[in-house]
């Protein structure tokens, strides 16, 4: 005879182990939770770092720094899941080169290998909370703008990058990505203006040069596109589809 199982107790046990956050001690101070976030992050234990970050936000919900720390932790966890998924996918391709792979929707493809896109969504939400309480946090504005850029919301991305430039005019990536966003809207003169500004700030920035060359190619300015291609070749950098 098997012993009778109390269904109510079994249900409670399942709740304890399924779908709950990693265990992080309650009752600590804000500063102690911040220390835990950094400690767990250094160990690569991002799930516990996130749990500690949430507790810090609950203590100081209107503190931009608290939201920024949680946002950066979500983003670090997302980046790790991306790197791990990329390694697994490359290993699979090497083992099965003839298999058909989804190269159109890379997010869905990478999810098969462990990518956690929801972490990027949560990071963006926390960056938005950051600028709500700390409007001068230029990097939070940059991350929000870049999320819009990645999702091809180019006008929103441009508005965001303008905020970044107003707060930190020396951050070259804002100029480069804003140039490409303008290109995505077909506004090539504006694209060239910001890409040339980025090149002036960082003449060896190969991604910016490639973006500028592609704009010239779209405008059918073959001479300037060829000049950019030659520069990239001289720099021994990839010149993509130029």
Q: What are 197-229's pLDDT values in tens digits?
A: 999 999 999 999 999 999 999 999 999 999 999
The pLDDT assigned to 98 comes to 72
- pLDDT tens digit sequence for 48-90: 999 999 999 999 999 999 999 999 999 999 999 999 999 998 9
Query: 3-state SS of 188-217?
Result: HHHHHHHHHHHHHHCCCCHHHHHHHHHHHH
Class of domain 136-242: mainly alpha
Spatial CA neighbour of 76 closest among 143, 142, 163, 151 = 143
pLDDT tier for residue 20 given thresholds of 50, 70 and 90: low
> Has residue 125 got a pLDDT over 60?
yes
Return the pLDDT at 238.
85
Query: SS3 for 102?
Result: coil
pTM (2 decimals)? 0.85
**Residues in Cβ contact with 25 at an 8 Å cutoff, skipping those fewer than 6 apart:** none
Section 99-118 average pLDDT: 82
C-alpha of 170 from chain center: 21
Q: What is the CATH number of domain 27-134?
A: 1.25.40
Are 27-134 and 136-242 in the same CATH fold?
A: yes
CA quadruple 193, 196, 200, 205: dihedral positive or negative? positive
Cβ atoms 131, 64 nearer than 8 A: yes
> Where do the domains of the chain lie?
27-134, 136-242
Is the CA virtual torsion 209, 212, 214, 219 positive or negative? negative
* CA atoms within 13 A of residue 122's CA, in its CB half-sphere: 19
Q: What is the CA radius of gyration of the chain?
A: 23
Instruction: State how far the Cα of 141 lies from the Cα of 162, in Å rounded to an integer.
Output: 9
Confirm if 118 and 133 have CB atoms less than 8 A apart.
no
Q: Which segments of 56-149 are extended strands (E)?
A: none
Does residue 188 or residue 5 have the better pLDDT? 188
The yes-or-no verdict on residue 27 having pLDDT over 80 is yes
Q: What is the pLDDT of residues 143-169, one digit of tens each?
A: 999 999 999 999 999 999 999 999 999
**Would you give the DSSP letter of residue 96?**
-
């Amino acid at each position: 005879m098997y012993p009778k199982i109390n269904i109510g107790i079994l249900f409670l046990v399942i709740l304890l182990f399924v779908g709950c956050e990693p265990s992080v001690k309650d009752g600590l101070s804000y500063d102690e939770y911040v220390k835990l976030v950094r400690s767990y992050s250094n160990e690569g234990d991002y799930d516990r770092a996130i749990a500690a970050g949430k507790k810090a936000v609950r203590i100081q919900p209107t503190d931009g720094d608290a939201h920024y720390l949680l946002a950066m932790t979500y983003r670090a966890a997302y980046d790790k899941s991306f790197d791990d998924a990329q390694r697994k996918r490359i290993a699979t391709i090497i083992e099965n080169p003839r298999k058909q792979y989804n190269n159109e929707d890379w997010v869905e493809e990478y999810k098969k290998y462990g990518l956690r896109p929801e972490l990027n969504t949560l990071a963006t939400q926390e960056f938005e909370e950051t600028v709500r309480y700390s409007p001068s946090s230029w990097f939070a504005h940059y991350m929000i703008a870049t999320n819009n850029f990645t999702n091809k919301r180019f006008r929103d991305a441009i508005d965001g990058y303008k905020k970044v430039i107003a707060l930190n005019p020396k951050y070259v990536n804002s100029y480069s990505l804003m140039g490409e966003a303008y290109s995505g809207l077909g506004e090539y003169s504006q694209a060239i203006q910001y890409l040339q500004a980025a090149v002036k700030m960082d003449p060896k920035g190969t991604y910016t040069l490639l973006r500028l060359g592609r704009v010239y190619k779209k405008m059918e300015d073959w001479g300037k596109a060829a000049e950019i291609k030659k520069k990239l070749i001289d720099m021994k950098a990839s010149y993509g589809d130029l």
